[in-house]
Amino acid sequence: MPAEYHRPPDYYRWDGRRITAEEAQGLLLDVRGRLLAQDVIRVGAVVVVVSTWFTVIDLGLAANGRPLLWQTIVSDHAMHADIGQYTTREKAARGHAQAVSMITSRLRGLVARAALDEARP
């Protein structure tokens, strides 16, 4: 196998500076400290959780060459989906707020349509 497949991951602090594996271990264990934001969206019987996390590990390089260190995840009882990756804490906070707004709006629309469908004879 080529050497790039065996390369250890790069670890980072929230400000984008590289850190050692030992420092990364401490950050990875601080689950609450890595959680930037979490919202529980309830619309009718539907419950969805939107969480934005600091990943410590580079998820890949953004177009500007900076590491993607923040991730927004949406989950419910049946699925778990990555819906956003960001290079900075500020971008992650904005992305989280946008995700909550978009998902809330879509869920309300789906629940309203389902109620209309049930009401039709």
Mean pLDDT of the region 78-104? 93
Mean pLDDT of the 97-103 span? 96
Rounded distance, CA 44 to CA 111, Å? 7
- Give the pair of three-digit tokens for residue 54: 């600091």
Task: Specify which residues 54 forms β-bridges with.
Answer: 70
Over the stretch 19-56, which tens digit does the pLDDT of each residue have?
999 999 999 999 999 999 999 999 888 899 999 999 99
CB 103 within 8 A of CB 74: yes
Domain of residue 100, residue span = 3-119
Q: Across residues 87-116, what is the average pLDDT?
A: 90
Number of domains in the chain: 1
- Is the predicted pLDDT of residue 119 greater than 90, yes or no? no
CA distance 113 to 108: 9
Radius of gyration from C-alpha coordinates of the chain: 18
DSSP label of 13 = -
* In contact, 112 and 118? CB cutoff 8 Å: no
